Amino acid sequence: MAERKALRPRHMMLLVITSFLLLVVSLWSSRSSSARIHPLTEAPLAGVPDPLEGSFGTMTPGEETKTQPGPGAGRTTVRHRVQPGDTLSTIFTSLGASMSDLRKIMEADAEYLALATLQPGTEVRLSFNATGLLTEMALEIDAARTIFFTRTDDATFEYRQTESETRWVSEVLRGTIEGSFYASALRAGLTESQIASVSQLLEHQVNFRRDLRAGDRFSVIIGQEMAGNESTGKNRLEAVSLQLGSDTHTAFRFEDGNYYDLNGKSVLPAFRRWPTNTPYRVSSPFSRNRIHPVTGRKAPHNGVDLATPRGTPILSTGDGIVQRIGNHPYAGKYIDIDHGNAYKTRYLHLDRILVRKGQKVQRGHKIALSGNTGRSTGPHLHFELHINGTPTDPLKAEIPTAADVPTALAKRFEKEAEFKLEVMTRAGSRSNLMLAGTRGTSD
């Protein structure tokens, strides 16, 4: 380490960039291997005849389950890679597990809803003891995360999640405006959601319809989450730079998860105004004295009703912790989020809740799908904002704005931002990649 400290900054930069290029190789190779979808495979225990053998596919070398010495002896594990169109029922049936155990696992999942969002490519593992009793279901959600449902007694399964250490590596994408920003960014290799993020980050500085001219340039750093040498599939924007004539607009992600411009000023308000991706018609406004549409009685309406069709993604309007989820005869399925300080939000009549009590959410986190549950005249979202315990009109209230980078961290932010800007400026195209790893870049 003392040796490295002696290196001059330019040498240091070259060293770092070389290491990044090595990392990009591992990123691409891991991507191609994770894109490989395994067919249905089973891994019978060595020496124990597999009752399912012959019914499904072939064994894949390297996926065999090892015999557990001691109490785990006699255990058999069968595996299935979720395919489009699969349901847990069909998977359980094909792997020889019972519907009653599936119901018990679904019951255990009620607080977590991990099974409600089962994705193709996820590996499902079912373990049976020597008598054929299902003892555990494991879901490999991605390269870093696995969820387990473990039998505790005859009637119940217990949920737990493990997470291995991850790190972020980055790539630079660069492009020139020809036509719309959307089309230009797609050509540069950004995904639709990354384009939406860029627009959101810069929408307070740039009018994307009016301000862009052919030939204007943009550059982004995309972070990819890695577990070992494998991508988990998660990515995020690390930095964006948009050059309009002589003006450069930037946003940099900092360690607090917020985005700031080159001067350390927040580019986003701390709260979203709308709990949806796009605004919806207000079907009933906030009111201290409203005639209730169902009861006909006068009562305060402590939120706004938004005419969201069933299934509309509902987003947390700020960073916070899920304080409460529930199913109320009148409010239907609901979520309360505590945003710290003076702010709370509440979302009612949901169709499906995608978070659990105590979970940390970030601004824009998809927390639910809207619905028509509880006492309701039709599909809509009832949305409340409480400031210091008092319901306030969420569409008119002064919503809090994010602070700038704290003074104590300003130097660090400045260094990071300047480095990212340098990386974005130097990279020419996807074929000229530089990676900015966060850890272990020179080992």
Which of residues 268 and 331 has its CB atom nearest to Zn ion in the complex? 331
Q: What is the dihedral of CA 271, 273, 279, 282, to 10 degrees?
A: 140
**DSSP state for residue 115 in the 8-state scheme:** G
Binding-site size for Zn ion (CB under 5 A) equals 2
- Which among 160, 84, 73 has a CA at the least distance from the CA of 118? 84
| Closest CB to Zn ion among residues 174, 346 | 346
Q: Which stretch binds Zn ion (CB under 5 A): 166-174, 299-307, 327-335, 421-429?
A: 299-307
When the beta carbons of 305 and 351 are compared against Zn ion, the nearer one is 305
Q: Which is nearer to Zn ion, 235 or 392 (CB)?
A: 392
E strands, 47-185, where?
Answer: 76-81, 123-128, 134-140, 145-151, 157-163, 167-176
With contacts defined by CB under 5 A, name the span among 27-35, 47-55, 291-299, 305-313 that binds Zn ion. Answer: 305-313
Binding segment toward Zn ion, per CB under 5 A, in 119-127, 323-331, 382-390, 411-419:
382-390
Q: Which is nearer to Zn ion, 149 or 383 (CB)?
A: 383
N- to C-terminal Cα separation, the chain: 11
With 0-12 / 13-18 / 19 or more C-beta atoms within 10 angstroms meaning exposed / middle / buried, residue 440 is: exposed
Compute, in degrees rounded to 10, the torsion defined by CA atoms 372, 373, 377, 382.
-80
User: 225 with 166: CB under 8 angstroms?
Assistant: yes
Smallest distance from the beta carbon of 301 to Zn ion, in angstroms? Answer: 6
Nearest to 332 by CA among 289, 371, 276, 283: 371
Q: Does 142 bind Zn ion (CB under 5 A)?
A: no
**Which string of x and - marks every residue 341-380 that binds Zn ion (by CB under 5 A)?**
----------------------------------------
The answer to whether 379 and 309 are in contact (CB under 8 A) is: yes
- Residues numbered 399 to 438 that lie near Zn ion (CB under 5 A) are none
Closer Cβ to Zn ion, 84 or 329, answer by number:
329
39-78 mask for Zn ion (x: CB under 5 A)?
Answer: ----------------------------------------
CA dist 71 and 59 (Å) reads 25
Q: How many CB atoms lie within 10 A of CB 331?
A: 18
Does 384 participate in binding Zn ion (rule CB under 5 A)?
no
Q: Which is nearer to Zn ion, 32 or 289 (CB)?
A: 289
Residue nearest to Zn ion (CB): 382
Task: Please state the closest distance from residue 383 (CB atom) to Zn ion, in A.
Answer: 8
In the complex, what is the shortest distance from the CB of residue 341 to Zn ion, in angstroms, rounded to a whole number? 25
Instruction: State the nearest-atom distance from the C-beta of 337 to Zn ion, in Å.
Output: 17
In angstroms, what is the minimal distance from the CB of 200 to Zn ion? 27
The H-assigned helical ranges of 163-285 are: 181-188, 192-202
* Closest among 61, 57, 46, 142 to 95, alpha carbons compared: 57
Return the structure tokens found at 120: 């193709």
Contact 102, 85 (CB under 8 A): no
The nearest distance, CB 349 to Zn ion, in angstroms, is 8
Min dist. Cβ of residue 284 to Zn ion (A): 6
Please name the residues in contact with 48: beta carbons below 8 A apart, sequence gap of 6 or more: 74, 76
CB of 392 to Zn ion, least distance (A): 14
Window of 98-106, 148-156, 300-308, 425-433 that interacts with Zn ion by CB under 5 A: 300-308
Find the shortest distance in angstroms from Cβ 93 to Zn ion.
Answer: 42
Concatenate the DSSP letters of all residues of 384-420 into one string: EEEETTEEE-TTTS-PPBPPPSPGGGHHHHHHHHHHH
Question: Considering only residues 148-177, where is the footprint of Zn ion by CB under 5 A?
Answer: none
Which residue bears the tokens 């810069």? Answer: 202
- Residue 271 or residue 347: which is nearer to Zn ion going by CB? 347
Asked whether the beta carbons of 224 and 169 are under 8 A apart, the reply is yes
Q: Which is nearer to Zn ion, 305 or 416 (CB)?
A: 305
Applying CB under 5 A, does 305 fall inside the site for Zn ion?
Answer: yes
Per CB under 5 A, the list member of 249, 344, 382, 386 interacting with Zn ion is: 382
Least distance in Å: CB of 310 to Zn ion? 16
Nearer to Zn ion, 290 or 356 (CB): 290
**Residue 382 beta carbon to Zn ion: minimum distance, rounded to whole angstroms:** 3
What are the beta bridge partners of residue 146?
Answer: 140, 162
Distance separating alpha carbons of residues 353 and 369, to the nearest angstrom? 7
Of 42 and 305, CB closest to Zn ion: 305
Which residues of the chain form contacts with Zn ion (CB under 5 A)? 305, 382
